[in-house]
Chains A and B, each alone.
Chain A
Amino acid sequence: MTGILTFTAGFLAMAGIFAIMSLALNVHWGYTGLFNIGIAGFFAVGAYTSALVTSPMPAGVQAQYVEQAFGLDQPFLVGVLAAGIVSGLVAWIIGFPTLRLREDYLAIATIGISETIRLIFNNARWLANGPQGLVGIKQPLREWLIERGMPPNFYNFFYLVIVILLMVLIYLALERGIRSPWGRVLRAIREDEVVPETVGKDVFRFKMQSLVLGAVIMGIGGALYAHFARAIQPSVFTPLFGTFVVWVMLILGGSGNNKGAILGAFIVWAIWSGSAYLIRQVVPVEFSAQAPYIRLLLIGLLLLFILLTRPQGLLGEEKEVSRLT
């Protein structure tokens, strides 16, 4: 029984982390129309930044087989904050050459940055231990709670609370932002850049703010993932797991709707985890190496199906009517 409960807590925590990623993508795509297909890059930057900021420099025997550029041994929240800042900086750097150009340049640049980031973490061993990645990443208050008598396998519940709290906070902040005059400009840019331009809005600046804000949230999501999984390798942050799944979540839930972004994340994560289990049951052992790709095929077909039959997603964007009418 406790097995199922801790599994559920872990499942919900992961879904919550993906909901944060999906909310972030909603800022980019749903509200501003920025086509970011390099989510995995921001994901990785956030995860690695927080891991490096919170872990101590490896010492003794460990130093022989773990290399990392620095280890600041800071608390969890500092790590999360740093993750957001560094990820936002990366977004600013790629936004600068691409946001003034036609929209698909940003898409290609984001693929480029995410592949480049993965290559760097994979090859530069001095930075974060190369392909082996970092293990034993700190979890907030874990030791403190266990000392006070919490069974270690209940820790996921505590972490789930942290994730859900942050998710709700981000949701409330975004809802507020998007209903403000600032949010209205973003949506106007999404519909037609020329209109806000003609009424004197600096379209480039608004797009940059949206790109950076979304990337900061993605960085935070990455940090939450690192402290949840406790081990990160470059191979986790692939275009499939890091980018594509988040896109399916947002499109399924309904882009331009923050509730939809969260709903989509929980549904797709349930399909993703559930189908792994089902495929293992159905597929004969000799094909078990292929099983993960059946899941990829299903997710790909699901996205095509939504795009063709219900492009607005499950919830769709809420119509906003002026209070004056």
Chain B
Amino acid sequence: MANLVVSGIILGSIITLGAVGLTLLYGIVNFGNFAHGDMMTLGAYIALLMTATIFPALGLVDTPIGPLSFGWVMLVSFLPAMGVTGLAAIAADRLVYRRLRERRVRPIMLAIAALAVAFVMRSVIYILWGADFHFYSQGLRTTWKLPLGITLRPDQVVVLVVAWAMVVGLYTFLQRTKTGKALRALADNPDLARVSGIATERMITLTWFIGGAMAAAAGILLGIDSQVRPEMGWLMLLPLFAAVILGGIGNAYGALAGGLILGVVQQVSTAFMSPSYKPAVAFIIMILVLLVRPQGIFGGSKSS
């Protein structure tokens, strides 16, 4: 059981990383980004492109550090993957969402567009890389046996550290910088933010970049923790939304708690039922929250 809780915290950290971007976008562009899972997949595949094709072509072959199954090349690959995914998110905004926004369509129409963007992204991934699953490194995956029956792979420690470094970084940014405050203000009350002179469109662009970059990082970490495959992000969509709803839509702190709870409950559930039911477990948690406390544990930014 302790082992499942530990692996749940690792999964939960990955969910959190995706969910903070999703909840931020929810607050600022005011629709559920159904392409968020596929942005994770995109990030994971760009990192795969870097580690498996581009860096080796430059003569940089990854050599594992210590007990890890990967080395510096993998870690450096985070940057281009996050950057490109962030830019892809901005491109989707410019080409699709902004045009719809300018036409003042209902936010739910943007959600349909996001669904289309998700399918376009995934089909491109399928076309370029095929349906098979991939691993980042062929290196040996060592496992540590810890007390209480906990087994931990050194890779998972990196997953945990990277995820939390990014989450803490984002929170510091939101909390301490002027731009971060502007973002939170916009998520909280768009009209008030606009009259206070916050450049809405610029903030929206920034949010897409942050959301895309964070999703990419989450996707890579998920790929390190398990494997890289085209459906990986879509299967995470339900836990992501469940975490966002659990924490209250638009509430960045709520997403943190929601992500961890989701990860732990999903992993612990595998003690009682087949692991393939994990998305269903996320769904049931979500329905329970909707029944008992639809505004989420901490309340949303726009509870309606």
Contacts and interface: CB of A to CB of B under 8 A. Distances in A.
Bound pair (A, B)? yes
Interface of A: 33, 35, 37, 94, 97-98, 101-105, 107-109, 111-113, 115-116, 119-120, 122-123, 239-240, 244, 247, 251, 289-290, 293-294, 296-297, 299-301, 303-304, 307-308, 311
B241 A296 contact: no
Given A119-B277, A247-B115, A290-B126, A105 B290 contact: yes
Interface residues of B, number: 44
Nearest 10 A-B pairs (CB), nearest first? A112-B283, A293-B126, A297-B123, A300-B120, A296-B123, A300-B119, A303-B116, A116-B280, A97-B290, A293-B123
Given A244-B119, A307-B116, A108 B32 contact: yes
A224 B245 CA distance: 36
Contacts of A111: 34, 237-238, 241
6 contacts: A97-B287, A112-B283, A115-B283, A244-B119, A290-B126, A299-B119
Query: Max chain A CB contacts within 10 Å: which of B99, B108, B119?
Result: B119
B32 A107 contact: yes
A34 to B, nearest CB: 10
Contact of A108 (B113, B245, B294): B245
A290 B238 contact: no
A304 B113 contact: yes
A113 to B, nearest CB: 7
Nearest to B240: A108
A106 to B, nearest CB: 10
Contacts of A240: 119
B115 A123 contact: no
Interface string B263-290: 0000000000010110110110011001
A259 B31 CA distance: 30
B108 A304 contact: no
Contact of B119 (A104, A109, A296): A296
Given A105-B245, A296-B126, 19 more contacts: A37-B115, A94-B287, A103-B108, A108-B286, A111-B238, A112-B282, A113-B283, A115-B280, A119-B280, A293-B126, A294-B123, A296-B122, A297-B124, A300-B117, A301-B116, A303-B119, A304-B116, A308-B99, A311-B103
Nearest to A101: B294
Contacts of A112: 238, 279-280, 282-283, 286-287
Contacts of A33: 108
Interface string B84-100: 00000000000010011
B127 A311 contact: no
B96 A304 contact: yes
B291 interface: yes
Interface string B227-238: 000000010011
Interface in B204-239: 234, 237-238
A304 B120 contact: yes
Given A107-B32, A297-B124, A304 B290 contact: no
A123 B32 CA distance: 29
A300 B294 contact: no
Contacts of B294: 101, 105
Nearest to B110: A307
Interface string B70-109: 0000000000000000000000000010011001010111
Contacts of B100: 307-308
A98 B130 CA distance: 37
B203 interface: no
A108 B241 contact: yes
A244 B115 contact: yes
A289 B128 CA distance: 11
A246 to B, nearest CB: 12
A190 to B, nearest CB: 10
Contacts of B290: 97-98, 101, 105, 109
A109 B115 contact: no
Contacts of A120: 280
B131 interface: yes
A297 B287 CA distance: 32
| A112, A122, A308 pick with most chain B CB within 10 angstroms | A112
A9 to B, nearest CB: 30
B280 A300 contact: no
A123 B274 CA distance: 8
Contacts of B112: 35, 247, 251, 303, 307
B304 interface: yes
Given A97-B287, A101-B294, A115 B105 contact: no
A107 B111 contact: yes
A228 to B, nearest CB: 25
Contacts of B34: 37, 107, 111
Contacts of B280: 112, 115-116, 119-120
B5 to A, nearest CB: 23
Interface in B240-255: 241, 245
A33 B107 CA distance: 12
B116, B130, B131, most chain A CB atoms within 10 A: B116
A80 to B, nearest CB: 28
A115 B238 contact: yes
B287 A293 contact: no
A311 B113 CA distance: 11
- Residue among B126, B277, B283 with most chain A CB within 10 A: B283
A300 B119 CA distance: 6
Interface centre among A107, A290, A293 (most CB of B within 10 A): A293
